[in-house]
Structure 1
Amino acid sequence: MDRTEAALPAAHRADRNSFVDAVVAVTGWDRGRTHTVDWTAVEARIGTALPADYKELAEVFGHGAFDGYLELHTPGAAFSSCDIVLHTVWLGEWARTHGSSLWEPYGVHPAPGGLLQWGSSEQAHQFYWLTDGPDPDRWPILVCEDAPDSWERFDGTTAEFVHRLLTEPEHPFSIACYFDSHWFESYGNP
């Protein structure tokens, strides 16, 4: 799904923090439960800056899943496959060793403009940023189902994507039609 909203001037787009606040509000999450993350170390290990609203989501929510569906990958996650640092390093090594044909037509980070995974779902959907361009706050989101050529594009922020997934039935990966209320289940990372 291509969204032309990303092409609008920043003054016409919603503030990224408003979407983080909207996700907090729709899930009833306690914003006081924060997770301290050394983003300088995380970004040095991954080899790139990360979107600001993703970092805020990770600090506010930590590792866990929205509505038992969308698992947010964070630094220090309870499972190494969901630790954004460990998984990014592993995936980059795997792609260098075995090739990136599973992600065609895209490469895998740290390849220039490569995919960097920030989430997954119980239905084998994988949520990535396309690291195309120097500003991570403008990276589009690409979602891949467990099927060839199933890429869907979303031109908006990570928090906007999560909020729309939770609340808008017409979102391509919406779970809004399945639940009247929404929640976040923490998987207990520090």
Structure 2
Amino acid sequence: METAETAETAETAAQWSEKLAALTGREAAARRVIDWPAVEARLGLALPTDYKRLAERFGSGVFDGYPQLRAPDTPSGRYDLVEDAERLGEMLAADEWLREIYRPYPVFPAAGGLLQWADSVQADGFFWLTGSADPDTWPVLARSRDGADEWERFDGPTGEFVHRVLTDHRQPFSVAGFVDAHIFRTYEPEGEPDPGWEAEPHW
């Protein structure tokens, strides 16, 4: 049975997911079914409730041509949350210079490290800092490709961060005012599978 706290967390998570669905005109889009216990077992850590609702609602894809959401078990190989995390961890283990890019923070699978959940076509990066045992309290850390050691921190749900990036010009990394209408373009096939479909971003 849910506690009052977990019920409130689930309600907040659903609210931001649904706000983004309404903003991008995807209220009627089918939700993905994701085996979260298997995903979290593979990662070795739990994921934020809010992110789970986003991944179920949208899958992998891009909001307003800018933040590109990763999701587990996506047919778009480059935007699979787990595979990308594992790949980056292997690269960093073999390359000390590459680890310097992320300082002062360690990177997953290091304990409490950064776990990337989105990026942009401009190579900006969006991460969680996974130090807390409660993933629903993980802050979002973001850095531009040319940001050197400057990290922007957002303490709040992942869905709220995305919503602010799309709509609030005061938010760092905001694209508010640069688009006439908000849209989410999926990197996954929708409806019946198409044998000729290729898992590549489409614009």
Shorter-chain TM-score: what band? Answer: 0.7 to 0.9
Runs of 4+ more than 6 Å apart: none
Specify whether residues 23 and 186 from structure 1 end up closer, same or farther in structure 2 by C-alpha distance, changes over 3 A only. same
Larger mean Cα displacement after TM superposition, 30-39 or 176-185: 30-39
Q: CA deviation at 1:91?
A: 1.1
Unaligned runs of 5+ in 1: 1-10
After superposition, the C-alpha distances for 1:16-50 in whole angstroms (9 at most, x for unaligned) are 32211111111111344111111111111111111
Q: Say if 1:76 and 1:189, in contact at 8 Å, map to a contact too.
A: no
Q: Among residues 76, 82, 98, which one is paired with 1:79 in the alignment?
A: 76
Aligned to 1:164: 164
1:1-190 matches, within 5 Å, as 15-99=12-96, 100-147=99-146, 148-188=148-188
Find the structure with the greater CA-based Rg: 2
Cα distance in 2, alignment partners of residues 132 and 119 from structure 1: 18
Taking only the aligned residue pairs, the percentage that are identical comes to 46
State the structure with bigger RCO (CA 8 A, min sep 6), 1 or 2. Answer: 1
- Check whether the contact 1:62–1:189 (CA below 8 A) recurs between aligned residues: no
Which amino acid counterpart does residue 133 of structure 1 have in structure 2?
S
Moved more, 134-143 or 26-35: 26-35
State TM-score, norm by structure 1.
0.88
Paired AA for residue 42 in structure 2: R
Report how many residues are paired.
179
- Partners of 2:189 and 2:162 lie apart in 1 by 20
| Structure 2 length-normalised TM | 0.82
Quote the residue 1:8 is aligned against.
none
Q: CA RMSD, aligned part only?
A: 1.8
Give distance in 2, aligned partners of 1:176 and 1:117.
Answer: 23
Encode CA deviations 1:142-175: one digit per residue, 9 max, x unaligned: 1111131131111111000011111111111111
- Kept in 1, the 8 Å contact 2:81–2:116? The answer is yes
Could you tell me whether the CA contact under 8 Å between 2:119 and 2:126 is conserved in 1?
yes
- Is the contact between residue 76 and residue 187 of structure 2 (CA under 8 Å) also seen in structure 1? no
Q: Quick check: 2:115–2:130 contact (8 Å CA) kept in 1? A: yes
